[in-house]
């Protein structure tokens, strides 16, 4: 039996989101229906609403979520009703050329539920990142459910579903930050702060936070920044070099997605250092740098999609570290809000007032 629940829908480009009745089918083969408990508000949700991702309106928004599996399709083995899970948008196929080479974090064929959730009139919804979790129930591929320790509250666990995982993974997976490294993070929103927390966890000796907002820099210190630079006031490349004996940082993480800050990251790294781009640029952006500088400086220029995470490997591990008090995930939760407050949360996100607003969907 399909079920009708409330969900947050973006009906048209730029229009405020609305709370709608949606129809969630019974899970079919390979699918799971999840009772969402909490779901964070991410920039990507706003980008969907603005038509910046694609034009497959209406969208069912929300994708940083934790909840409990309500029912599963006939052949589903990996999860059962009652399991406490974080939803992920990297349910790996196990068969593509990346998976076969033992690199499932790059899976080129991730999957989602086959059946569609709809509006009451039958209009098919496009779930944000194949999840759609600003809803009391959502339908996903069973592989999108990652079991974690239920002692972690849902508003905290759900964060690993997207932005915080992206930042943590940019440091610990993509950047491969190791004990003793110097790290600089440019842009200290939720993603950048998570990169800082990841660098601390990995044993970085120096973690330099760069932002143009002093409030963000103060928060960055709480997550582990050892030094902060307001790049409105001073040149960040020179300042990072000055803090690293004139060399630059071993790993520089760009967590904004802009050409000018990417250029700062490029020149603020040590010779043979690594730059990680985890901020998402828009399609109009270009960069123009001397090719010789790419060659002459050596090292690695990487991008980090979802923090190069493998949900089944990383989510339970990071939740365990959180439960041990070694990863302050709770500090990313700026406010807990109701399912009707998403539009207001977009506004706060836009003004830079929050790291994460988290919608408490059900107990």
Look at residue 96 and give the partner it binds from ligand APR, Zn ion, none, a contact being a CB closer than 5 to 8 Å depending on partner kind. Answer: Zn ion
What six digits make up the tokens of 27? 């899970």
Note whether 213 binds ligand APR by CB under 6 A. Answer: yes
Closer to ligand APR by CB, 158 or 279: give it: 279
Could you tell me the smallest distance in angstroms from the CB atom of residue 156 to ligand APR? 17
Minimum CB–partner distance for residue 109 and Zn ion (Å): 5
CB of 310 to ligand APR, least distance (A): 18
The answer to whether the Cα torsion of 238, 240, 244, 247 is positive or negative is negative
If phi over 0 gives left and psi between -120 and 50 gives alpha, with beta otherwise, what is residue 294?
alpha
Q: Which helix (H) or strand (E) holds 138?
A: strand 137-141
> Does 93 interact with Zn ion (rule: CB under 5 A)?
yes
Q: Could you tell me how many residues of this chain bind ligand APR (CB under 6 A)? A: 24
From CA 251, how far away is CA 178, in angstroms rounded? Answer: 10
Q: Are 39 and 53 in contact (CB under 8 A)?
A: no
Q: Which is nearer to ligand APR, 166 or 252 (CB)?
A: 166
Closest by CA to 66, choosing from 16, 172, 4, 138, is 138
Burial of 118 (0-12, 13-18, 19+ CB in 10 A): middle
Q: In the range 104-133, which residues lie near Zn ion by CB under 5 A?
A: 107, 109
360 part of the interface to ligand APR, by CB under 6 A: no
Provide the minimum distance between the beta carbon of 325 and Zn ion in the complex, in angstroms, as a whole number: 26
Question: From the list 31, 211, 227, 314, which residue makes contact with ligand APR (rule: CB under 6 A)?
Answer: 211
Among the listed residues 179, 181, 169, the one whose alpha carbon sits nearest the alpha carbon of residue 273 = 181
Q: Is residue 131 involved in binding ligand APR (CB under 6 A)?
A: no
191 touching Zn ion, by CB under 5 A: no
* Residues at the contact surface with Zn ion, assessed by CB under 5 A: 42, 44, 92-93, 96, 99, 107, 109, 162
């Amino acid at each position: 039996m399909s079920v009708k629940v409330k969900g947050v829908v973006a009906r048209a480009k730029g229009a405020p989101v609305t709370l709608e009745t949606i129809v969630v089918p019974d899970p079919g083969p390979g699918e799971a229906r999840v009772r969402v408990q909490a779901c964070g508000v991410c920039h990507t949700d706003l980008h969907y609403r603005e038509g910046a991702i694609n034009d497959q309106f209406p969208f069912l928004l929300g994708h940083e979520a934790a909840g409990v599996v309500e029912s599963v399709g006939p052949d589903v083995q990996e999860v059962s009703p009652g399991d406490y899970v974080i939803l992920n948008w990297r349910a790996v196929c196990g068969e593509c050329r990346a998976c076969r080479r033992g690199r499932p974090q790059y899976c080129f064929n991730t999957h989602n539920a086959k059946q569609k959730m709809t509006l009451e009139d039958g209009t098919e919804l496009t779930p944000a990142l194949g999840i759609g979790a600003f809803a009391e129930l959502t339908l996903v591929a069973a592989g999108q459910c990652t079991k974690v320790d239920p002692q972690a509250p849902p508003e905290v666990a759900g964060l690993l579903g997207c932005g915080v995982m992206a930042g943590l993974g940019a440091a610990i997976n993509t950047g491969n930050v190791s004990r003793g490294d110097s790290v600089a993070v440019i842009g200290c929103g939720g993603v950048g702060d998570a990169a800082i927390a990841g660098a601390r966890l990995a044993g970085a000796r120096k973690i330099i936070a760069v932002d143009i907002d002093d409030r963000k820099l103060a928060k960055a210190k709480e997550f582990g920044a050892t030094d902060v630079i307001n790049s409105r006031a001073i040149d960040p490349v020179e300042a990072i070099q000055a803090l690293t004996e004139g060399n630059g940082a071993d790993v520089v993480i760009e967590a904004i997605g802009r050409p000018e800050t990417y250029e700062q990251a490029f020149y603020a790294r040590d010779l043979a250092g690594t730059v990680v781009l985890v901020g998402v640029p828009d399609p109009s952006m270009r960069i123009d740098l001397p090719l010789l500088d790419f060659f002459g400086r050596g090292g690695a220029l990487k991008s980090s999609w979802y923090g190069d995470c493998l949900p089944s490997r990383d989510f339970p591990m990071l939740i365990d570290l959180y439960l041990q008090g070694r990863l302050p995930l709770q500090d990313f939760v700026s406010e807990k809000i109701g399912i009707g407050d998403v539009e207001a949360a977009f506004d706060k996100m836009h003004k830079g007032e929050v790291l994460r607003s988290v919608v408490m969907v059900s107990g």
